[in-house]
Amino acid sequence: LGPLLDAWGVAFDQGKVLGDRGLGLTVSLRQGEPPSQHVAIVGLNRESMNSKDVVTSTLDSINVMTAGVLKKKDGAAIDFEPLLRSSSDSELLPVMRLAFLPDSRSLLEDFKPTGERYVVAARIHGKLKSAYPNGAPEGAQNGEHKAESAGDANLIVVADTDILADPLWVRTQNVFGQHFATAWANNGDFVANAVDNLAGSGDLISIRGRQSFFRPFTKVDDLRRHADEQLRAKEKELDTELKETERKLS
């Protein structure tokens, strides 16, 4: 999508992945391993969502995994309205750090939040320029070439291909041989709301994605995160002492 996004006025770096220490979910990547926080698997909450946009105003939680980040390019003529944003306790990680990841705890080492809230999904409105300003690309069917859209376009761009992956929002249970899927996050509601809204009809939007009145224990989560950071620092200190002792013994 690089040429399209560039023509539309949206900046996207495919070499960077969002890491969010404030909203990173606690997961277990391998069987038998204790759960730990994974900063690249992010649970976006109500504070992360645009409360004024009909697509996200009534949702509670959306989970994304190794998501990218969107920005409006300098000088772009489009309206760029963020729908989903990270917390301020975030930074951008190089893609290669997740390519051969031994464990999620290694991502927390040298993690330095920038204080910026990064955009994961955005609504784009306005006239869009063609990704092919010099005419239709080779092999395209003959037809009238337009340098820009005839009217204002209305798009929703999401920088995460995993947003509808089942493990991020659906829990499957086996009851007497029958499989039942239960949604535990609003990923599906987000996509359904977006489709209804972009299709041009607002009649059904009010019955989509009802608020679930979920109230997370944010204070407990902060205490747990702080304790985890202290334990990690102590573990590093003890590891250094152990290596020094082994050096002296040898």
Task: Kindly give the confidence (pLDDT) of every residue in the chain, 250 residues in length, as a single tens digit, with 9 standing for 90 and above.
Answer: 888 999 999 999 999 999 999 999 988 777 777 788 899 999 999 999 999 898 998 899 999 999 999 999 998 889 999 999 999 999 999 999 888 776 777 888 888 999 999 999 999 999 998 888 888 777 777 777 888 888 888 899 999 999 999 999 999 888 888 888 889 999 999 999 999 888 875 455 445 444 454 566 777 777 877 787 778 778 888 888 999 999 999 9
Q: Does the predicted TM-score (pTM) go above 0.85?
A: no
d(CA 145, CA 153): 17
Report the candidate in 164, 165, 228, 182 with the shortest Cα–Cα distance to residue 26.
228
The structure tokens listed for 17 are: 């992945």
